[in-house]
Structure 1
């Protein structure tokens, strides 16, 4: 897709404190990394360790931190800012608006809408979407192609559902929630009791409640509660391929990276971060501000405000020391063998 942004549009978007140089092109035509940027592209530098790459970059517009000592080449414009990553993100927002234009409001003729569903006139329902009995779709919502909104579901203002999203019955979604392709909210929790040699299914009659400004990545699944709700707190961001069990309570502004798994009835405080493939067993609490490194697994309660690693989870510094020692085990074993041989020889 062709992108073209005027310099004025860029400058209006970026909060810069000073600039050097002169833009050698009429418009900005893309955003790229230092190595891949070509003439017309914008890029950013947040650290002095990339100075050499910056000197070799062909980018026309470069967003840098205030204290970075660098001068523009001919035809380059440098903008100095507090946080280059955030400012370049603002520019990407402009481009994304052009790449993914909001579709016109209205219900596609190939959508299947239950007569009792309430759809705001400013919402967009795309082809082959299904809206169930008593469902509510709020102002400015977009329900993508092939998505299914079950009975009695509620979508707050400004939600965006990509293609093939499934909301099972009674799911509640707040305002400005973005849900990517293949997500399933409100499927049955994994609940069984062993009786007379068989696994008896426990009906899951709760729901899923998602707060405002949440983003849920592709193919993530969040199970409905056994009785009450499974909750996702306001502002939390969930990556692709995450599994959240029944009656889990995720606090506000949490970060759950790809392949995180959280078993039923576990509670996460606000601002918890779980790295890729981290996990938590059921019926435990992870305190606010806790950070779990990749593949870390919590089997018991964890205090908030601390960093953890390993399985089972231990303080991250201790885990890192153990990792270093573990790598030295072959060498230490050889040394021990030599010492034993020397002692036995005496």
Structure 2
């Protein structure tokens, strides 16, 4: 187990050390659950009141924190406690599971597949015809990658993930367990006789940029005609649905249980809250924010925040909620 003194931690964070503690730190924990051998963080003055009852010996705190650490305890003051904690978490990270051998003997790899340097393929994984795995790709056990797919350098794909044919994936991506990439888009039309549904063929693919992270059990469907596109740096939570032919710009964020219907377009830096749903063929321009649980039925302008179901300007929606509360009291 790793153990660091408060002085060593301050050297890593390059903060301002206030107070002192002789207790070695060998772990990190939430403020209310931390023990004397652990460090916590205070990112807002509203949590100052919890410090006295916390057992932590030290905390990373924002510069605006007004309290003192107390005897035998220490603060490290930084500009952004969340980012500093993230840096320290890297120091204490025990690392991912290790491979005993690079290519497990139970893995099935087609003879036409191209495998780069340092690639690791876990037990019972499948790599199909003409697949390209660039240098440093890691496939944990039970990953399936189908024909003509390319995976960029240093991408990590966790167990249970299925990547369908013709997918293009960039560098340094992370796909967590049971992600589905490139399944058929959801396309059906009533049959001529009105007695059933006709499945619309989905012959496109999925293109995913660099530094994309996709959470467990999320789905990205392939395009009907061309491509479903996930831009560089996008971060997608667990249980998220990306419909066919949707296009996400760079560095978008989608929280859990949110979804894009078919042919939705997101600009750069769009943020979508949990359980929000976006109607098909909607355009959400760069920097816009969609509040949790909202239903977006119309285009959203750049930088705008929308809330509610159906979603509208956040200020207008807040006014409506206040008005409803007043009506309820009458």
Map of 2:35 onto structure 1 = 38
Among 283, 291, 294, the alignment partner of 2:292 is 294
The whole-number CA distance in structure 2 between the counterparts of 1:112 and 1:201 is: 32
Q: Deviations over 1:278-337 (max 9, x none)?
A: 1111112111111111111111211111110112211011111212222333333xxxxx
Q: CA deviation at 1:248?
A: 0.1
Match status 1:187 vs 2:186: no
* 2:273 pairs with one of 252, 272, 275: 275
| CA-atom RMSD in angstroms | 1.7
After TM superposition, give the deviation of residue 72 of structure 1 in Å.
2.7
Shift of 1:235: 0.7
Residue pair 1:63, 1:81 contacting (<8 A) in 2 also: yes
> How far, CA to CA, are the matches of 2:328 and 2:64 in structure 1?
46
Structure 1 CA distance for aligned equivalents of residues 166 and 8 of structure 2: 43
Unaligned runs of 5+ in 2: none
Segments of 5+ residues of structure 1 without an aligned counterpart are 333-346
Shift of 1:195: 2.7
Deviation at 1:104, TM superposition (A): 6.0
> How big is the shift at 1:144?
1.2
Q: TM-score normalized by structure 1? A: 0.90
Report the counterpart of residue 167 of structure 2 in structure 1: 171
Q: Show the counterpart of 1:237.
A: 235
Partner of 1:149: 145
| 1:73 partnered with 2:83 | no
**Alignment CA distance shift 1:119-1:261 (3 Å):** same
Distance in 2 between residues matched to 1:163 and 1:53, nearest whole Å:
39
Is 1:105–1:123's contact at 8 Å kept on the other side of the alignment? no
Is residue 2:258 matched to residue 1:260?
A: yes
Residue correspondences, number: 328
Deviation of the 1:244 alpha carbon = 0.7
Scaled by the length of structure 2, the TM-score of the pair is 0.94
Question: Cα offset for 1:118?
Answer: 1.1
Counterparts of 2:10 and 2:183 in 1: how far apart (Å)?
Answer: 46
Structure 1 residues 218 and 56, CA, compared in 2 at 3 Å: closer, same or farther? same
User: Is residue 15–residue 87 contact of structure 1 (8 Å, CA) maintained in 2?
Assistant: no
